[in-house]
Amino acid sequence: MFSLKGLKWATCAVAGAMVFTVINANAASNLCTKRASMVDALAKKYEEQRRGIGVASKTGVMEFYVSAKGTWTMLMTMPNGMSCIMAAGRDWEEIAATPIGTNS
C-alpha cells in the first residue's frame, strides 16, 4: 500500500513540476521581438545564419538558424512580423538526406 509520507512527496513533486513548467512557459513568452531585430541579434551574438525554413500552418513559419560553431536556434515567425525563440541549443550536426525507402 501507499504510505501517507510517500503520497505527500509525490504531491510535492507534481506541484513542483507544474510550477517549473509555468515559469518556463512565461520565460519563453518573453523571447519574442520583431523578426529583423531577432535575426540581427542571432547573427551578431552567435554568428547564426538561416539554414532551413518551413510553413507551420496559418500560425507562421519555422526558421532554423545555425552557426559554424554548432549553436542553433529555432524561431517561429508570425504573420505580424514577430519572431519567438522556440528552442535553442548547441552541437548542431548536418546529416545527408536519406532517400525515402532506405534503412539508414
List the chain domain ranges: 1-30, 33-91
72 vs 3, residue with greater confidence: 72
4 vs 19, residue with greater confidence: 4
pLDDT digits (tens, 9 = 90+) for 23-75: 444 444 558 999 999 999 999 999 999 999 999 878 899 999 999 999 999 99
> How far is residue 49's CA from residue 43's CA, in Å, rounded to a whole number?
6
Helices (H), the chain: 4-29, 35-46
Backbone angles phi, psi at 75, to 5 degrees: -110, 150
